Amino acid sequence: GIQVEQSPPDLILQEGANSTLRCNFSDSVNNLQWFHQNPWGQLINLFYIPSGTKQNGRLSATTVATERYSLLYISSSQTTDSGVYFCAVGGATGTYKYIFGTGTRLKVLA
């Protein structure tokens, strides 16, 4: 099955700093999402981005499907950005499975 790797596993930033989170996947995909899990455990949809680039405020994401990776950019980070960021992918081979990476734990310091 598809393998999903995220890097870095942990990240500590000062408020106002920028960061890039990476998601690598081992096979072709039709679906890719980025989620933020807040400190209360809620999973929040950030981007649905199987290919291309999207932006939403201080966050943006780019997926290069042919090279099997996606990047999540966080600019001018805030303490509320703290939590765990996951990418999840669904394969292009007819499977309905949706597989998660192990996440990047981000802590933004005031």
Partner 1 sequence: DAGITQSPRHKVTETGTPVTLRCHQTENHRYMYWYRQDPGHGLRLIHYSYGVKDTDKGEVSDGYSVSRSKTEDFLLTLESATSSQTSVYFCAIRDLGRGLNTEAFFGQGTRLTVV
Which positions lie near partner 1, rule CB under 8 A? Answer: 1, 30-31, 33, 35, 41-43, 45, 48, 50, 86, 88, 90, 94, 96-103
Euclidean distance between CA atoms 72 and 87, whole angstroms: 9
Closer of 83 and 103 to partner 1 (Cβ)? 103
Q: Residue 91 in contact with residue 28, Cβ under 8 Å?
A: yes
Determine the residue type at 10. Answer: D
- Shortest approach of partner 1 to residue 98 CB, angstroms? 6
Closer of 50 and 71 to partner 1 (Cβ)? 50
- Shortest approach of partner 1 to residue 72 CB, angstroms? 15
- Shortest approach of partner 1 to residue 16 CB, angstroms? 28
Closer of 18 and 53 to partner 1 (Cβ)? 53
Read off the tokens for 34.
Answer: 């980025």
Report the SS3 class of residue 38.
Answer: coil
Euclidean distance between CA atoms 108 and 110, whole angstroms: 7
